[in-house]
Structure 1
Amino acid sequence: MANTVEIGKNKNTDLTAPTPQNTPLSNAPIQREPLSRPTVTTIGEEDDDDDDDDEDAAAAGLPNAAIQSMIQDKLNGLVGRSSGYIESLPDEVRRRVEGLKGLNIDHQKIEAEFQREILALEKKFAQRYAPLYDRRKEIILGKVEPTAAEVESGETVDREDDEDEDEDEDDDEEDDEKETPRSLANISIKTDAPKGIPEFWLTALKNHVALSEVITERDEEALRHLTDIRLRYLDVPANAAPEQSLQGFQLDFVFDAAKNENFSNEVLTKTYFYSDQVGFSGDLVYDHAEGTTIDWKSPEANLMHRVETKKQRNKNTNETRTVKRLVPTESFFNFFSPPKPPTDEEEEDEEELDALEERLELDYQIGEDLKDRIIPHAVDFFTGKALHYENPEEWDDDEYGDEDFDDDEDDDEDDAPRGGARGQDPQECKQQ
């Protein structure tokens, strides 16, 4: 397995588009592989005839699942094999093909330079965003109040969104008269009103589809004390050693340490390092990630483990004792212990490698989403508005009919997302 994972823009593997009418109900057994080379495969007819006859005879008494598995295994063995077409070309033609490969190397060098320029531009504009993020933090913590002009700008956006929704409604439906919301720009702030915006970041994170699946009820207590998430690009000195010259970015999760009963860290960091190469599509690729070691205040406060209590009885004395041990458990805070890509010397079986690759891709995608979406548009994740823009088709009932869905009324409770993946209402998060 490669030690780098390409950064895919706008990936969203958690949301699934509706099934088109002409799509088979079951998945085809042939899996599409990444484009890397022509993969037209050739099956030697003379050599394989006997094997095919044996397999047909064996398959006659097998259930469908076993037959499908056997076919899939055979097809997987053909993936990536050369068809022999390139090798059959005249030397003159193959020489030209090799020349095109040489041109492609020069193209990749320009792509790498292009990506470095984009990264430099991101760093430049990060400095311009910084005052806005500082202002946002002050408002969230209740240290300052937004100005009337800022509130009026926000209300203008709300009205425009409402107008867009009204235009999208069916013309046959009767339009109920909607009252114009009362402006909040010039109201007087009561002295006994809540300060700032309670549980802002907890609510915003729970409205991210992937993060909502890993935030547990135990995690929520600690995340209520999350006061800010900051982005910082890594500064690489011009004379840095090769192992210290990787570009990347750092995410800082700032907590109110005085109120946090789980760990003593004021800031938890997650750092992503880019490789010095580009992927097939021209995007940067990740090299690896590093996270903070969390200083838990006690074993019971460790959200990444649960305490398992077990009683043991001595066979000779009949005395009993209680043994406690920590068992790893699902938690948002596993995010700060990222999976490590295997080295060339390590031997892993294929299933373990596939599972590790999935974990790496998810970890990198969450980091990219925090950098590009959640931090810049935190208020839209807090209100749930961001979910609508993630996949608008999922909210449009006119695109497809009821025949696209199976009735499953008895399993509604079991199928409901744990963390509010379909929108965490800010009112549901109560300050404690």
Structure 2
Amino acid sequence: MGYLSLSPNPKKRVDFLRVIQREHDELKEKFLEERAALEAKYQLLYQPLFAKRYEIVNGLAEVEGVAMGTATDTAEEKGVPCFWLVALKNNEVVADVITDRDEEALKYLKDIKYTKMVEPLGFKLEFFFDPNPYFSNTVLTKTYHMLDEDEPLLERAFGTVINWLPEKSLTKIANEKQKNDLKNVEPVIDTPPCESFFNFFDPPEIPENDVDIDEDACYELQDVMERDYDIGSTIRDKIIPHAVVWFTGEAVDGEGDEDDDMYDDLDDGELLVHVLIVRFDFLDSISFAKMAGISIVGFGMKSRR
């Protein structure tokens, strides 16, 4: 059964339904245009509020009832100590990748900013740090390039190369190994990678050329990228606009995100299925769909996971 098997009259009805669908799609396109303009307007209105928050958090401005530079203020007590560290840790998605070692470095985090990009489509997160004993960068950036503005079609993610100070890398653990247990032989320093929030700035690369990829590698890449995007979108949609309620612990997942997420029509699982279908164009789409457990619906693909 289907359109091709219909008799003439039902086909005419379906053709009219197509006209209705086109009218709907035109209205949806207009809605998306107006929403984008409204979002841009209010992003500008938010900026002075975020600037005030920055000044108070970092001790550059004081609130009513508190005198600037009081004798009781130590260097650690100026502003709101560990504001962003605590806000990030109180969110389950982000806290899952923050280690005890990371916390000392994240105490120097003084602001996080979000910028929506038009050319290319996507968004950028900027993490601003005070001078610290771990790395020389003052800003760490994570950028997501999207293939579509209104659907979560991720093309690629880019991160800042972190300039770690000597023996201060938090993404590797230095282990000394003595060769053959011989005396007077310099130990070999082995630095295997380890779990760290700062791995967020070194996202996985999506292969562009013909390569062999088995089912396990496919699932592993999909899982890593889903997790990476989940962290980025959580910081963008929840942490940045509602930082104080994450700091106080008032927010829980599902709350503190009154802003409509531009990608709320699709669940997280769908995002990276599209990524793999788009980027792994060297694979036969049907074979890949079967391998990755994807059901084909119309002209699109949707994860069954």
CA shift for structure 1 position 121: 2.3
Go from structure 1 to structure 2 and tell me whether the alpha carbon gap of 1:334 and 1:96 turns closer, same or farther (over 3 Å shift).
farther
Determine the structure 1 residue equivalent to 2:5: 89
Q: Which amino acid aligns with 2:175?
A: E
Q: Which amino acid aligns with 1:304?
A: T
Show structure 1 runs of 5+ residues with no match.
1-84, 148-185, 237-244, 392-432
Superposed counterparts of 1:399-418, under 5 Å: none
CA shift for structure 1 position 294: 1.0
Per-residue CA distance 1:217-245 (angstroms, 9 max, x = gap): 111111010011112222x4xxxxxxxx3
Answer yes or no: is the 8 Å Cα contact 2:92–2:253 preserved in 1: no
Go from structure 1 to structure 2 and tell me whether the alpha carbon gap of 1:104 and 1:328 turns closer, same or farther (over 3 Å shift).
farther
Determine the structure 2 residue equivalent to 1:229: 112
- Of 168, 173, 177, 1:306 maps to 173
Q: Does 1:379 align with 2:244?
A: yes
Go from structure 1 to structure 2 and tell me whether the alpha carbon gap of 1:87 and 1:352 turns closer, same or farther (over 3 Å shift).
farther
Per-residue CA distance 1:329-388 (angstroms, 9 max, x = gap): 111011111223343733311122122212222222222221121111101000110127
Determine the structure 2 residue equivalent to 1:263: 135
Superposed counterparts of 1:122-201, under 5 Å: 122-147=39-64, 186=65, 190-193=70-73, 194-201=77-84
Q: Which amino acid aligns with 1:208?
A: N
Determine the structure 2 residue equivalent to 1:250: 124
- Of 37, 59, 62, 1:120 maps to 37
Answer yes or no: is the 8 Å Cα contact 1:141–1:227 preserved in 2: yes
Answer yes or no: is the 8 Å Cα contact 1:228–1:253 preserved in 2: yes
Name the CA distance, whole Å, in 2 between partners of 1:354 and 1:230. 31
User: What percent of counterpart residues are identical?
Assistant: 39
Name the CA distance, whole Å, in 2 between partners of 1:346 and 1:115. 38
Q: Does 1:291 align with 2:159?
A: yes
Per-residue CA distance 1:4-56 (angstroms, 9 max, x = gap): xxxxxxxxxxxxxxxxxxxxxxxxxxxxxxxxxxxxxxxxxxxxxxxxxxxxx
Go from structure 1 to structure 2 and tell me whether the alpha carbon gap of 1:145 and 1:251 turns closer, same or farther (over 3 Å shift).
same
- Structure 1 or 2, whichever has the larger Rg, is 1
Name the CA distance, whole Å, in 2 between partners of 1:97 and 1:319. 85
CA shift for structure 1 position 117: 3.7
CA shift for structure 1 position 202: 0.5
Superposed counterparts of 1:352-371, under 5 Å: 352-371=217-236
Go from structure 1 to structure 2 and tell me whether the alpha carbon gap of 1:294 and 1:98 turns closer, same or farther (over 3 Å shift).
farther
Determine the structure 1 residue equivalent to 2:189: 324
Answer yes or no: is the 8 Å Cα contact 1:86–1:94 preserved in 2: no
Output the aligned Cα RMSD. Answer: 3.1
- Of 144, 147, 152, 1:272 maps to 144
Go from structure 1 to structure 2 and tell me whether the alpha carbon gap of 1:231 and 1:309 turns closer, same or farther (over 3 Å shift).
same
Name the CA distance, whole Å, in 2 between partners of 1:271 and 1:353. 23
Q: TM-score, normalised by structure 2?
A: 0.71
Go from structure 1 to structure 2 and tell me whether the alpha carbon gap of 1:249 and 1:116 turns closer, same or farther (over 3 Å shift).
farther
Q: Which amino acid aligns with 2:106?
A: L
Q: Which amino acid aligns with 1:210?
A: V
Go from structure 1 to structure 2 and tell me whether the alpha carbon gap of 1:249 and 1:102 turns closer, same or farther (over 3 Å shift).
same
Determine the structure 2 residue equivalent to 1:61: none
CA shift for structure 1 position 246: 2.6
Q: Which amino acid aligns with 1:254?
A: F
CA shift for structure 1 position 247: 2.0
Go from structure 1 to structure 2 and tell me whether the alpha carbon gap of 1:249 and 1:310 turns closer, same or farther (over 3 Å shift).
same
Name the CA distance, whole Å, in 2 between partners of 1:107 and 1:145. 51
CA shift for structure 1 position 118: 2.5
Q: Which amino acid aligns with 1:232?
A: T
Answer yes or no: is the 8 Å Cα contact 2:142–2:160 preserved in 1: yes
Superposed counterparts of 1:28-107, under 5 Å: 85-86=1-2, 89-90=5-6, 92=8
* Partner-residue secondary structure (3-state), 1:306: coil
Q: Which amino acid aligns with 1:309?
A: E
Answer yes or no: is the 8 Å Cα contact 1:313–1:319 preserved in 2: no
Q: TM-score, normalised by structure 1?
A: 0.52
